[in-house]
Amino acid sequence: MNRSVSSAVFGKLKCHRNDRSYSVATSHKGVRVDIHFFCDTDDAIDRLLPLAEKVWRGRVRYFKAFREYAVTELLELLNGFLDCGEDNPPQVSATKLRKVLAVPYSITFMLSGNDYEDEFFEITGGDSPCLHEHCLTVSFDGDGRIVDGDARSLF
């Protein structure tokens, strides 16, 4: 990690030497989206930046895939987390979740860490009080296919 990195799509990236990452903030439909690059190897940004630019150009498709996977595969898990044994636990409907996840708040690009160091990315959303300090993350491989997802606590 030693250089200034710029992108035709994102502009100048901020370098974070302490954790070997880069970041930039951009927006979609007036909503801020933070883009992060975790670079465990010296050439990682050279591999991740073209993927990020491709994903950002196709963001409408990726955001929709993220939202629909979250609603169909992660809603039950999320509602299970929200049910803490209360008499009337909060629950989130599919319609409400689609609205909350209309624009994610973060996309993170990184290498897999396996022997092949494959590129992948995660889209994360759920910045809403109705999710009670939880967010949803969907992981995509370097070809843009969904490989996994999870509901996570923010506390």
Has residue 118 been placed in a domain?
Answer: yes
Has residue 47 been placed in a domain?
Answer: yes
94-144 pLDDT, tens digit each: 999 999 999 999 999 999 876 668 999 999 999 899 998 999 999 999 999
pTM of the prediction?
0.93
How many independent structural domains does the chain possess?
Answer: 1
Has residue 117 been placed in a domain?
Answer: yes
Has residue 89 been placed in a domain?
Answer: no
The sign of the dihedral angle between the CA atoms of 134, 60, 39, 20 is: negative
21-80 pLDDT, tens digit each: 999 999 999 999 999 999 988 889 999 999 999 999 999 999 999 999 999 999 999 999
Has residue 110 been placed in a domain?
Answer: yes
> What domain range includes position 10?
5-66+103-153
* 13 class by beta-carbon count within 10 Å (0-12 exposed, 13-18 middle, 19+ buried): buried
Has residue 45 been placed in a domain?
Answer: yes
